[in-house]
Amino acid sequence: MTAPTATAAAVADAARYAGQWLEVQQRLTRVPGVQVAVAHGDDLLLSRAYGLADVAAGTALTTRHLFRVASHSKMFTATAVLQLAEAGLLRLDDPVESWLAPLTGTPLGAASLRDLLGHGAGVSRDSTDGDFWQLFAPFPDAERLLAVTGPGSGAPIRPVAERFKYSNLGFGLLGQVIEAASGLTFGEYVRARIAAPLGLEATGSEWDPARAAQFATGHTGAATAAAQDSPRQGIDPIDTRALAPATGVYSTAEDLVRFAAAHYLGDSRLLSDAAKRRMQHSEWSAVRDGEDYGLGVILTTIGARRTVGHSGGFPGYITRTILDPVDRFAVSVLTNAIDGPAGALAATIVRFVNLATEVPAPHDVAGLDRFTGRFANLWGLLDVVRLGGRLYAFDPAAGDPTDHPVHLTVEDDSTLRIGGGTGYGSFGEAFEYTWAPDGSVASLRADSAQSVFPVDAYRAAQASGDVVTGSKRNATH
């Protein structure tokens, strides 16, 4: 099954609601901060920031704060390798040892650059001592990287091409190849050949002390804080040295959707379509449920939509970017905590897009939009949302409101009929609206035939104590 085309209008509807939903999610998940961007084609449809850039200082997060985006770096590295291949400066089938002489004669040296790009070279993930991920020691430099992957290191754990085996070391080696083939350092290459052509002024290959004040602080996890009965702690920045091609890149959500856009089919700024198809072709299938791996990119099926992108996990940050190269839209969600739910949040935004494509929007959406809004009662929040040409009833506190979505059909000027959902809901029953003299919603009788009220009115009544006493009349004033 193929997903319906995601039009600009459908992505715009999803982005509009995503901005409202994420505001609730950031507070409920208690992640310090969330930065998000959604784009369709060249148009930035959503760019928002929620929460704090630094918990201890109480600094508000902005859309300009920089994040360590970790394994997003692999997508930058793969882009660089494919650019060099298109320029005839290397071949994907080149053995690693043809570029890195210290690996000559080793099983890893016989692996191809393509094997490294697809995590099929069988090489150790992070060596026999990965405590640099806990900041116990520096990340490996180039000499150390070659030592832990060279003869006698034990780095080749499995045979080449046996199975998918993720490796940061492998992408570190690809960085060394990029430097040898281009004559530039990895940082210089990213800046000159990727960031500059796209105008990515907030993107770089490695921790930059000169921009320290611009970075959102990375934070420890909620579980660790709870165990210590203390707030989340800030995590000191660190240079990733020779593993920058695997995990060093920093960026913003806005820059990442611009970078993603260069991987749409039909965009020739960085790569030809042939190179992008090669990059986005599955090298390993079913590495996780609904997920394959290409060349430096994660291929995820969300609903019926095949997407491309990458996640990132760094001390203090969890991040995720997803793009549809055919329908030409991209989503990026960045969080500044080691347990941030970036992946789930980004995937749900794509699901909003999927819902918005199911029923095309009418030429005049005002007749549907008059029913929309955020409402509240004793049981929580209710959002009535238009996605495309259909109304939905969502609980914005739900991690994925699109799971068994409840849709609403207009029957008359004050009545919606409930469809979808599960048998535990109020399928087939009505949403009955009461309108204020100015045409706004005064209240509505919704799921379980319970009254709900515009959220601002409900909060005002709650603050005055009216809601606590059960006075529905006062709750609307």
> Whose CA is closest to 263, among 308, 302, 320?
308
Q: Residue 388: which pLDDT band, with cuts at 50, 70 and 90?
A: very high
pLDDT over threshold 60, residue 313: yes
> Whose CA is closest to 397, among 348, 439, 438?
348
The reported pLDDT for the residue numbered 465 is 83
The reported pLDDT for the residue numbered 128 is 94
The reported pLDDT for the residue numbered 460 is 94
pLDDT tens column, 254-303? 999 999 999 999 999 999 999 999 999 999 999 999 999 999 999 999 99
pLDDT over threshold 80, residue 476: no
pLDDT over threshold 60, residue 475: no
Q: Residue 468: which pLDDT band, with cuts at 50, 70 and 90?
A: low
pLDDT tens column, 167-219? 999 999 999 999 999 999 999 999 999 999 999 999 999 999 999 999 999 99
Please give the share of the chain, as a percent, with pLDDT higher than 70.
97
CA 159 – CA 120 distance, rounded (Å): 9
Q: Residues 307, 324: contact at Cβ < 8 Å?
A: yes
The reported pLDDT for the residue numbered 224 is 80
Q: What are phi and psi of 42, to 5 degrees?
A: -95, 0
Please give the share of the chain, as a percent, with pLDDT higher than 90.
92
Contacts of residue 385, defined as CB under 8 A and 6 or more positions apart, other chains included, come to 17, 372, 391, 392, 393, 394
CA 276 – CA 267 distance, rounded (Å): 10
The reported pLDDT for the residue numbered 228 is 72
The reported pLDDT for the residue numbered 156 is 83
- Average pLDDT score, the chain: 95
pLDDT over threshold 60, residue 98: yes
The reported pLDDT for the residue numbered 230 is 79
In what helix (H) or strand (E) does residue 8 lie, and over which residues does it extend?
helix 8-29
